[in-house]
Amino acid sequence: MAAKKAHEGNIIVRGVKAAVQFLAEVKAELMKVAWPSKSEVVSSTWVVMFAVGITSVWIFASDQVSGILITGLIRLIH
């Protein structure tokens, strides 16, 4: 067991080898990615912006309505 660990090198050498292997695997995986075209990115961005806008309006309206209701309930109590 001790002979095997001595053969692999010290912790720094093993760390560097592991980092190099990891980066090689990352590069190989990135080569497999189907990257979107510019038009796909632009259209997806518009969809996301529209969804964020609708959600923002919904949250704002809900906040305003709940504020009015809570204020009305507080006035009824006092």
The per-residue pLDDT for 78 is 83
The count of residues in the chain is: 78
Note the pLDDT tens digit of each residue in 22-62: 999 999 999 999 999 999 999 999 999 999 999 999 999 99
- Greater model confidence, 1 or 60: 60
Residue showing tokens 């050498």: 13
Count how many domains the chain has: 2
On whether both 66 and 39 belong to a single domain, the answer is yes
On whether both 43 and 67 belong to a single domain, the answer is yes
On whether both 21 and 39 belong to a single domain, the answer is no
Residue 65 structural domain:
35-78
On whether both 76 and 61 belong to a single domain, the answer is yes
Q: With left for phi above 0 and alpha for psi between -120 and 50, is residue 10 left, alpha or beta?
A: beta
Is this structure's pTM higher than 0.85? no
The per-residue pLDDT for 2 is 52
Backbone φ, ψ for residue 55 (5° rounding): -65, -40
On whether both 52 and 68 belong to a single domain, the answer is yes
The per-residue pLDDT for 9 is 77
